[in-house]
């Protein structure tokens, strides 16, 4: 049976090439082929026509830049992972939708956090956010990577009943990297509960909430520890904004994993996913629920 590919999008920018390198190394870890995709719909950089005699129209410039981006990406992937099976494909249509569609049937879809120049940085930034919100497979947004592996995968767990897919991805990633796994559950006490007339904040009640959450997390992870006995698992319950907690944890992890749920309020400014994708110190994987 042919392994599912890892798909990575490129526009020729350094940020997207870093994503290509990350995806290539991940493909080796997972025993998967790598498929590099590009779409000729991004605004081109000012090109020197003398160095591109065959470029005559805007469409030619777009196609020329796309093909150069694919070639450069294939070279970077081959250098990062010698012997890896690499395919390159041209996409058509609106960039965000075309890139998301390319993730159909993939093991994961990898994108950079920014693109070329000020305007393209905004465009590719919105593409990465769109991919994280809509990809049919786990979407990885590659931000700055640590200089050396930290040997830790972090996963944020909100509702235990909706965290199975994110946990599966995180455990498989820990196995592939021979890394430990840190599971964090963060909860932010609603201000209304602290200031409601007749109701005062109580330190013992907060401790009780943390202890109860810790007990539930421990029960949930018991089955996962049995399923993945070789993975060292740590857990923590934090009173605070989940996004802030995960961003802080990202300083010490190789990858942060969060779930994406259809009935969740996560999309939008100030939400958990937005906060983590904007401020994380390394790659972030967003895993959709099945």
Residue 271 DSSP one-character state:
S
- Rounded CA separation 289/150 (Å): 27
CA 209/CA 223 separation, integer angstroms: 23
Quote the pLDDT of residue 258: 94
User: What is the pLDDT, as a whole number, of residue 122?
Assistant: 36
Structure tokens at 38: 């590009």
Question: What are 84-124's pLDDT values in tens digits?
Answer: 999 999 998 888 999 999 999 999 999 998 654 433 333 44
CB-side neighbour CA atoms (13 Å) of 203: 0
Q: Are 100 and 131 in contact (CB under 8 A)?
A: yes
Tokens (6 digits) for 260: 């994406």
What was the pLDDT predicted at 191? 46
Query: Contact at 8 Å (CB) between 35 and 87?
Result: yes
| Cα-based torsion angle of the residue sequence 57, 62, 68, 69 in order, rounded to the nearest 10 degrees | 170
Q: Show the domains of the chain with their CATH numbers.
A: 6-142 (3.40.50.620), 152-288 (3.40.50.620)
Residues of the chain with pLDDT below 70 are: 1-2, 41-56, 114-125, 160-161, 189-204, 262-270
pTM, 2 dp: 0.84
Q: Supply 58's token pair.
A: 């805007």
Nearest to 34 by CA among 92, 93, 75, 95: 75
Structural tokens at position 244: 């802030």
**Residue 109's beta-bridge partner residues?**
7, 139
* Confidence (pLDDT) at 118: 37
């Amino acid at each position: 049976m042919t392994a599912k590919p890892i798909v990575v999008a490129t526009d020729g920018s350094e940020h997207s090439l870093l994503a290509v390198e990350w995806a290539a190394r991940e493909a080796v870890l997972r025993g998967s082929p790598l498929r590099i995709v590009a779409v000729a719909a991004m605004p081109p950089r000012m090109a020197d026509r003398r160095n591109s005699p065959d470029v005559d129209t805007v469409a030619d410039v777009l196609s020329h830049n796309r093909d150069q981006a694919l070639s450069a990406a294939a070279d970077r992937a081959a250098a990062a992972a010698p012997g890896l099976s690499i395919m390159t494909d041209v996409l058509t249509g609106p960039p965000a939708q075309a890139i998301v569609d390319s993730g159909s049937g993939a093991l994961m879809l990898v994108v950079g956090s920014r693109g070329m120049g000020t305007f393209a940085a905004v465009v590719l930034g919105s593409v990465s956010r769109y991919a994280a919100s809509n990809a049919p497979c786990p979407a990885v947004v590659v931000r700055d990577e640590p200089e050396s592996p930290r040997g830790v995968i972090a996963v944020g767990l909100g509702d235990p009943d909706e965290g199975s897919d994110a946990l599966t991805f995180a455990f498989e990633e820990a196995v592939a990297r021979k890394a430990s796994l840190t599971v964090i559950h963060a909860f932010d006490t609603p201000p209304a509960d602290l200031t409601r007339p007749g109701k005062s904040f109580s330190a013992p009640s907060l401790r009780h909430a943390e202890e109860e959450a810790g007990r539930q997390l421990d029960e949930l992870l018991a089955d996962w520890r049995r399923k993945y006995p070789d993975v060292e698992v740590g857990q923590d319950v934090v009173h605070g904004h989940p996004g802030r907690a995960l961003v802080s944890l990202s300083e010490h992890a190789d990858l942060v994993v969060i779930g994406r749920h259809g009935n969740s309020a996560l999309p939008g400014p100030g939400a958990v996913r937005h906060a983590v994708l904007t401020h994380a110190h390394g790659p972030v994987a967003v895993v959709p629920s099945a």
